[in-house]
Structure 1
Amino acid sequence: MRQGIRLAALAAAVVLAGAARAENGKVEAEVFAKLPQSVGNIAFTPDNQLIFSHHPFFSPDIRVARLTSPTTFEPFPNAQWNTPRKGTDQYLDNVLGLRSDESGVVWIIDMGFRTQITPKLVGWNTRTNRLERIYYMPEPITVKGSQPQDIVIDQKNRKFYIADEHIGPGGDGSHAAIIVIDMDSGVARRVLDGDRSTVPENVPITVDGNDLTVPGKDGKPAIIKVGCDGITMDVRSEWVYFAPLSGRSVYRIRVGDLNDEKLSPEQLSGKVERYSDKPNNGGLSIDYAGNLYLTAVETKSIGIVGADRKYRTYLSDPDMVWPDGITASPDGYMYVSASQVSAAAMFHGGKAENKTPYLIYRFKPVATGYISR
């Protein structure tokens, strides 16, 4: 099915798994899809096509896919773009973050370090089934260790805002940053590099009592620390919200300040506001009422920060292992993947605990969300 299928048709075949309920007993999450490979992030087009990345942590052959049924997928935008080739960079190499705009263009962040090509932002127009545009992110926009992996599309100010968590090869989160790309000129800037608001805090990521560690520079186990990960923006395009995965704080900055090229790094840092408490979280999304939704990777749950700026658990499920990408759909639901990253062999003495199926959930948010944030 070259043009994919509509989510309305998929909904008729949704598998309702054990209900996941919030503390108030009212919010339920449904298992919407059961897939054979780990799902990273999710995007929706205006006509409800579900596009997703296979999590790059597991080195998938198909980097990006379109859901064709609750258990099947096809390469997106096609097989050729999912096949690395010599003599060109017109392919998807290493993808986690992606998002659709209101015109049906799916914007895909290619981190590039799997086959050592320049990181880029690829736009594929689902209405014309053609390449829309490529924005490149060479040095110094990206740096050694860069892992740009989540995106906000700001049509009002004609900008993309990309979170670089800086845990790619050679990275340790210490140079996490936000990348700002001008849609019209293609000019990119790297801002808040190494800022207190983007770098990870020295707190462990603990899943089922197990601190996740990686080999440190001395060869001994060191807690994994992940920098600026989730990023989103309110409906008025006034505030960008962001947070390191490893850390207890959500931050925000006015869009006008983020785009003010006259501000020095120190002045820009001074414009950042600590917004709320949080647990270690990956994905970040927002609804029209300004509620933030966070994927709490340690507790198999989705959290919410409302107008009172206080964090609370919204829903949870024992099979929601490492909830990752979270996004709104035109159908009124929010969707979240359970990537099982924390169950991988490297975190369990070489014995893999991740297993099929890999799940995509959906749930009703407090208020409707929107696809480009």
Structure 2
Amino acid sequence: MKNIKFLFVLITSVMSIQAQNTITEAKLFTTTDQAVGNITFTNTGDLVYSHHPFFSPENRVMIMDAKTKTSKPFPTKAWNTPRTTDDNFLSNVLGVRNDENGIVWMLDMAQRDNVTPKIVGWNTKTNELERIYYLPTSSVPKHSQPNDMVVDTKHGYFIIADEGIGNGGDGTHAAFIIVDMKTGKTRRLLEGTRTTLPENTPTVINGKHLAVNSKDLLVGNDGITADATFEYIYYGPLNGTKIYRIKTLDLVNEAFTDTELDRKIETYSEKPNNGGMSIDIAGNIYLTALETNSVAVVLAKDKSVKTMVKDVNMVWPDGVSYNHVDGYMYVSAAQVNKGAVFNDGNDLSTKPFYMFRFKPIVEGVSFR
């Protein structure tokens, strides 16, 4: 009995310490057999998620029934099956977003197959292809790696964060890619400039550097989100200490040169090395803190950085997204740092892969 009482006190003490160091508690939502990258939701609350491309998954994108937690390839198995007869399939997807019209947009980096990078929109209301936007070489050069995006239906643009680490790139070509929803015209902006470049802040997890062939991998423009009215775009390099913001209408304005745009960018706040980024209606910014098994939050009231949630199994928290149906933020734990490319060819990741959820400080912003 004494041992049971001691164990109870110990568990309670640990939970108390965790509560003191975090704003709220992460709750395990489900587990999967493959690493989950980014997450979005249909208008009815079902989860659409990418299998992280670092692990070369057979099925690139999946949909999970929110009630039964059963999953199947999204939008179909055929769209997840490469072939040489046409390019109407998903090659290499990380970024996924939903819009208020029920269209799930998937950002296909296309690095696994000889196809053109593209944005594929699938209408979940009609269950059919909505549109494909192709990203030409002028916008997606050799070292491009389009990672995540904002789907700005108010102004009519996709705003893509390009990490600049594709095909052996070192982050020095990180940039923005702007796609006009009406015309399909694409433009590449702010490549290799001060706010898209990575800083020399290596990713270190449990004392081990994220490195390829003993060289630190420094990742450029990565996390990106927009506020509730699409007034500002918030972003930053994965390896970097700052969140930046720029007015959306300035960023998409073709009249501005990169030099002129650079003068319009604000340094918004401090941040840790981070992956995904989300926001709530009060302007609190949630970002996945890769090195500390946690999700951080930048509080809108004073721009201070706090730990929102933390869990020992939140290894490489990647995408963080709000589900407007149940009111939770969801975050994946992708174990990217355990992938073979970072461990001398040995895949050290372990099943299961975790997906967590937590309540944001106030209602989150959907469709970003």
- Class of the TM-score when normalised by the shorter of the 2 chains: over 0.9
Structure 1 match to 2:199: 201
Aligned partners of 2:289, 2:337: CA distance in 1, in Å?
Answer: 12
User: 2:227 touches 2:281 (CA, 8 Å); kept in 1?
Assistant: yes
1:356 maps to 2:325? no
Three-state SS of the structure 2 residue aligned to 1:298 is: helix
| Shift in CA distance, 61/29, structure 1 to aligned 2, threshold 3 Å | same
Aligned partners of 1:290, 1:141: CA distance in 2, in Å?
Answer: 30
Aligned partners of 2:290, 2:115: CA distance in 1, in Å?
Answer: 30
Of the candidates 346, 350, 356, which is equivalent to residue 341 of structure 2? 346
Deviations 1:2-52 (Å, cap 9, x if unpaired)? xxxxxxxxxxxxxxxx97955456511111111000000001111101000
Amino acid at match of 2:274: N
Of the candidates 270, 275, 289, which is equivalent to residue 277 of structure 1? 270
How many angstroms does 1:71 deviate by?
A: 5.9
Bigger helix fraction: 2
Amino acid at match of 2:202: P
1:311 maps to 2:310? no
Over the aligned positions, Cα root-mean-square deviation in angstroms equals 1.6
1:44 maps to 2:41? yes
Q: How does 1:107-186 map to 2 (within 5 A)?
A: 107-186=105-184
Three-state SS of the structure 2 residue aligned to 1:336 is: strand
Amino acid at match of 1:260: N
| Shift in CA distance, 129/155, structure 1 to aligned 2, threshold 3 Å | same
Three-state SS of the structure 1 residue aligned to 2:250 is: helix
Aligned partners of 2:268, 2:19: CA distance in 1, in Å?
Answer: 23
Greater mean alpha carbon deviation, residues 305-314 or residues 329-338: 305-314
How many angstroms does 1:357 deviate by?
A: 0.6
Amino acid at match of 2:319: G
Three-state SS of the structure 1 residue aligned to 2:26 is: strand
Deviations 1:138-181 (Å, cap 9, x if unpaired)? 11111111111111111111111111101111321111111111
Three-state SS of the structure 2 residue aligned to 1:193 is: coil
Structure 2 match to 1:64: 61
Aligned partners of 1:286, 1:356: CA distance in 2, in Å?
Answer: 30
How many angstroms does 1:343 deviate by?
A: 1.6
Aligned partners of 2:19, 2:89: CA distance in 1, in Å?
Answer: 41
Aligned partners of 1:143, 1:295: CA distance in 2, in Å?
Answer: 28
Identity of counterpart residues, as a percentage?
50
Normalised by the length of structure 2, the TM-score is 0.92
| Shift in CA distance, 226/235, structure 1 to aligned 2, threshold 3 Å | same
User: 1:137 touches 1:188 (CA, 8 Å); kept in 2?
Assistant: yes
| Shift in CA distance, 64/26, structure 1 to aligned 2, threshold 3 Å | same
1:35 maps to 2:32? yes
Larger radius of gyration: 2
User: 2:227 touches 2:365 (CA, 8 Å); kept in 1?
Assistant: no
User: 2:317 touches 2:332 (CA, 8 Å); kept in 1?
Assistant: yes
User: 2:23 touches 2:308 (CA, 8 Å); kept in 1?
Assistant: no
